[in-house]
Structure 1
């Protein structure tokens, strides 16, 4: 069994040389071709003077070349840095500088985002000419060597690069076998960007055991549905926003989705109404997952058998599931530092072989995030029920404290999603001279909807304690999101807190 990414691609090429590894459009790389092209990347990097510990960036939408660079860099002991093409040029420059990137493989479309002086290899003819000889350099490496460095997107301040090792990432194929129900015959659709753990990490679930990975380069709902039918896709991971796009697509009724066995969802809250509709429309198993970049992906899973709409365990649809069996999870009361009581809200802590070894060049932040005895503080608020199911509330920093009462936005959003004219909803805390903070909802209405602010507030008050309900509602055409589909609540809050400091709880 492979202990490093370099060993993994070598073993897959030996065991399944002619099997399809990665497909984008009309281009498919077999596992033998993936190994060959990765070897050629390794030789080209070597010629460019890169070696163990050096950083090489990839700036592109989803493409097979991402894997060629990741595996090729790993063959030398170098580290791949995923760069977010959605960032502005100064943000990309900050990440490149923070990581100390020596060379960037870039699609010409995004070359203008890179700072001057950084060596670039443009994908296309230049990349093909740049590739070295087809000879694996044979680097052995160690399971604890860093192979991938991923950055938070859509944030301000100094970039935060989580370092992931082969040992961290190679839990993912096991996850694929035991929880996603994957094997070498799996056809896995990957629409999430590969610069994000929901793309790069998740795709190893199937690819890591010889399955076929089908990449989505641009999010066109009708085209994505067409890929499922064309390739006989069996599995995929979708953020809730994409689930909703596909469910609302006019192409859905005419698409053959009979190959689909399982859709995993996560990275952002999924409203119950939204989930129930998707289960009915897609006709396959659904599985909830919870994780983050710092845990190399999923650490909690709600399996299909715990999806029981209308049944005696329907309440579990509000849960993200139970911890994976090879890791430890606690919910810690921030006031006491002890484990919270059953039903008591606290911060999720995880101890696992999947945990990042730390943030690149930021020992203080690493120490604040990972305790001396190996617990990673996620910053997410949740509670455990008596059976050990995790019920996620929000990021601790997104919790609203109004008049001394804690309000968890996910609870309010879940109620708003139940309104038939609400397409999307985000709840934030805004300043209140009386209560310190008060609840505001930012809502995207469905086409043709007429619901107004008083109507939504009244709808919430019929279903929630009044202190939890919005005192104001703003309507917008879309919510700001990062690459993983998470709503950027900091962006929503900023106009209201300009000139004053919000207390983070």
Structure 2
């Protein structure tokens, strides 16, 4: 698919590839197809000729999502490099621990990610970005415009449509056609023991093919989404991809102007919007039937919940109509996608395997089965139904309570987000608290009354307390931060 993407970019050089959004909601062109192809070629030439990177070397990437980040990843894949994705929002200590594990030959970072002193420090703080001092990162090159204090530029920053690489170093070497690692993505762990997912080139290709077969993007269509697994299949099919605006207000305007065929957003992003077109896909956090139903009421032709992990993307998908018709306990995720195999451990944890699964965790031996950390069951026809997170279990009065089994019942129309968390209550026991984030403008008294019915149906798992507050979120995918939610609940309860 990446080879197909290169051909598509060259054949439609003047066609818009990556779109942005003005404050008015107007669609802007951030990069045309030919410009994106040229940028990837310049990066590949510089990495090979100037920095001497060869197949198998590790390239650290701390570049914000956009055309430059995509061009860097395409250049790395062309050269057979292993790209280690470094999140600038993770904090200096975490990044240094991850760098020590990945040991990149070179780190590429944009100017904002490098901002450590002088005029750029306030800008970096506002963007929640920070890297350690450059001297601690090892060899660093700047992607995009340089600012005072930045490392040397990787290449010239122009993105014209000329076939010249613009580096003065000639053309990049022939495309690497072998096997090996493609990408490292850091997930869990601590600063003393970070954990990273390793995908091979074959596994990455399989994941992209799965997305392409599921979504079937159309040439000439407009797609809204910002991840690599959205950009590559859509651009390879000849579609244009718009990067989502950050604010809900501007994102609403963007959707109204763009009217995309396909939209990929997280559940927290969807909840603040008021109109949709085409098909809408959401994942990275729980998406209940009520949220998907609301998306369709607001104009979407179809609304899909996608079950995906860093270790296997995507794994399963379900459309709103199927999810709404499911009346048993638990959260229906749908059938595993083609090639994805399922297995349950003795204690009910869901294991997944398939061509698109990660090869291993960095520093660990390969393992075909991915431990999801999710407790699940399989229906007679093979569909996956989640019943909670293994590690989110709450122990109350010697009873194990799995929040995922009950949280869907709390997502009433006037609820934006709801989680069940355990608050320590002495001797290893916990209090079970329902933390509910009402929709803006909701009548709290009426909502509290409406929640009594689903709370009563929880039986022995009924929460000890119900609190209204904003549910903390974490990470780029904006998933509920259960640890922070538990701390918030503990403070509220102690204050009472």
Corresponding residue to 2:317 among 301, 308, 327: 301
Per the TM alignment, residue 454 of structure 1 is displaced from its structure 2 partner at its CA by 8.0
Counterparts of 1:51 and 1:432 in 2: how far apart (Å)?
A: 56
Query: Conserved in 1, the CA contact under 8 Å of 2:304 and 2:320?
Result: yes
- 1:205 aligned residue: 233
Corresponding residue to 2:223 among 188, 193, 201: 188
In the alignment, structure 2 segments of 5+ residues that lack a partner are 22-27, 117-129, 147-152, 158-165, 492-496
* Structure 1 residues 29-428: aligned runs within 5 Å: 29-46=31-48, 47-111=50-114, 112=116, 113-116=130-133, 117=135, 118=137, 119-124=140-145, 126=153, 128-129=155-156, 132-133=167-168, 135-142=171-178, 144-152=179-187, 157-191=192-226, 199-216=227-244, 218-247=245-274, 252=275, 257=276, 260-295=277-312, 297-303=313-319, 306=322, 309=324, 318-334=331-347, 346-360=348-362, 362-363=363-364, 366=365, 370=367, 374-418=368-412, 420=414, 422-428=415-421
- SS across alignment from 2:298: helix
Counterparts of 1:12 and 1:214 in 2: how far apart (Å)?
A: 17
Q: What are the superposed Cα offsets for residues 251-278 of structure 1, whole Å, 9 maximum, x if unpaired?
A: x4xxxx5xx3211111111233333222
- SS across alignment from 1:321: strand
- SS across alignment from 1:129: coil
Per the TM alignment, residue 471 of structure 1 is displaced from its structure 2 partner at its CA by 0.6
Per the TM alignment, residue 21 of structure 1 is displaced from its structure 2 partner at its CA by 2.8
- 1:343 aligned residue: none
1:12 and 2:40 equivalent? no
Q: What are the superposed Cα offsets for residues 151-197 of structure 1, whole Å, 9 maximum, x if unpaired?
A: 12796653222112222222344334432132333322114xxxxxx
Counterparts of 2:391 and 2:450 in 1: how far apart (Å)?
A: 25
In the alignment, structure 1 segments of 5+ residues that lack a partner are 192-198, 335-345, 499-505
Counterparts of 1:233 and 1:105 in 2: how far apart (Å)?
A: 32
Per the TM alignment, residue 136 of structure 1 is displaced from its structure 2 partner at its CA by 3.4
Counterparts of 2:389 and 2:383 in 1: how far apart (Å)?
A: 18
Counterparts of 1:233 and 1:137 in 2: how far apart (Å)?
A: 37
Per the TM alignment, residue 316 of structure 1 is displaced from its structure 2 partner at its CA by 10
Using the size of structure 2 for normalisation, the TM-score is 0.81
- 1:338 aligned residue: none
Query: Conserved in 2, the CA contact under 8 Å of 1:413 and 1:427?
Result: yes
* Aligned-residue RMSD, C-alpha: 3.1
Query: Conserved in 2, the CA contact under 8 Å of 1:79 and 1:148?
Result: yes
- SS across alignment from 2:479: coil
Counterparts of 2:378 and 2:238 in 1: how far apart (Å)?
A: 36
Per the TM alignment, residue 419 of structure 1 is displaced from its structure 2 partner at its CA by 6.8
Query: Conserved in 2, the CA contact under 8 Å of 1:460 and 1:469?
Result: no
Counterparts of 1:228 and 1:447 in 2: how far apart (Å)?
A: 21
- SS across alignment from 1:75: helix
Using the size of structure 1 for normalisation, the TM-score is 0.80
Query: Conserved in 1, the CA contact under 8 Å of 2:188 and 2:195?
Result: no
In 2 relative to 1, CA 453–305 (structure 1 residues): closer, same or farther, beyond 3 Å? closer
Counterparts of 1:38 and 1:412 in 2: how far apart (Å)?
A: 47
Counterparts of 2:328 and 2:300 in 1: how far apart (Å)?
A: 20
Counterparts of 1:233 and 1:457 in 2: how far apart (Å)?
A: 36
Query: Conserved in 1, the CA contact under 8 Å of 2:188 and 2:196?
Result: no
Query: Conserved in 1, the CA contact under 8 Å of 2:94 and 2:190?
Result: no
In 2 relative to 1, CA 495–230 (structure 1 residues): closer, same or farther, beyond 3 Å? closer
